[in-house]
Amino acid sequence: MDKLPNRFAPYDDRTQPAFKVEGYKETITRVPMQGFYKRPATLTEVTGPLNLARKLDADLSDLSRAKGGGRDGKDGARAMGQLIFVTGRLLDEDGSPVRNSIIEVWHANSAGRYIHKMDAGSPFPEDPNFFGSGRCLTDHEGRYQYISIKPGAYPVPNHPQRWWRPPHIHLSIFGSGFMSRLVTQMFFPGDPLNAQDRILNSVPDPKGRERMISRPIPMMELPRADVVGFAHDIVVRGSRATPMGI
């Protein structure tokens, strides 16, 4: 048992979002009512796909240009909006780097519209040069980076209590195993809409909410002059240090 490197504890509910969120009506009809069964972690839970790049294209780290979107298969013209550079490290609960993990990144365009049939009713324009999604791979230090344009805010459609989603970036992370799978969102520091976002504020612990908000990177530390930089470390479940007993 001691030879097994990764252990997983149940999530602490204070640091995770509530299942039901006031004003977010989809949580009413889609969340199970009959509770959750506690089960032991076995090999199927502590393993996961480590070679997904065989099947998924992980080399899509510039979302500001639609890959293959231009003529002759060349990269497309640049999307409208403020160029951003986002970087950080993917870590486990010991602070160890999670290497070679795919991170999927998607978000609205600079006007607040998604490339998705679910957003066909959006009042905001599409951007023919914005594809809206990419992927990158963490390196030996767990570091990832991507270029994109800053997403716009948008009002949540068809809700009786109207509210805005602040600019945010969706992240889907595989980590080291089934139990480290994480889907989350990254927010921007200092945005006035953060304080009223029902999704960000569904996490009870203020420190938990802070873990979803990126930090500005000083301009002198950026690799190029045309981007605004944001740093965002992500921690996925999993620990090598302490037996978890589950």
Partner 1 sequence: MGKFVPTPSCTVGPFFPAHYFGPNDNDLTVTSNAAGASSKRAQGTKIYIAGTIYEADRVPRWNSIVEFWQADASGHFAHPNDPESSKADPDFMGWGRRASEDDGYYDFITVKPGGYKDPLTGLVRAPHINVSIMGSGLMRRLVTTFFFPDEPANAGDPVFNAIPDAKVRERIILKPAKFPRAPADALCYRLDIVLQGEDETPFFLD
Query: Catalytic residues, which ones?
Result: 114, 154, 165, 168, 170
In whole angstroms, how close is the CB of 91 to partner 1 at the nearest point? 6
Nearer to partner 1 among residue 34 and residue 221 (C-beta): 34
Kindly give, in sequence order, each residue whose CB lies less than 8 Å from that of residue 4, ignoring residues fewer than 6 positions away: 46
- Comparison of 15 and 82: residue with beta carbon closer to partner 1: 15
**Angstrom distance (rounded) from CA 226 to CA 88:** 19
Q: Which helix (H) or strand (E) holds 45?
A: helix 43-46
Provide Rg for the chain, Cα atoms: 19
What distance separates the 2 farthest-apart alpha carbons in the chain? 56
The CB-of-132 to partner 1 minimum distance in angstroms stands at 6
Min separation Cβ 66 and partner 1, Å: 10
For residue 117, the Cα-to-chain-centroid distance in whole angstroms is 21
Q: Which is nearer to partner 1, 161 or 219 (CB)?
A: 161
- Whether 96 contacts 240, CB under 8 Å: yes
In the numeric block, which tokens belong to residue 178? Answer: 């089934």
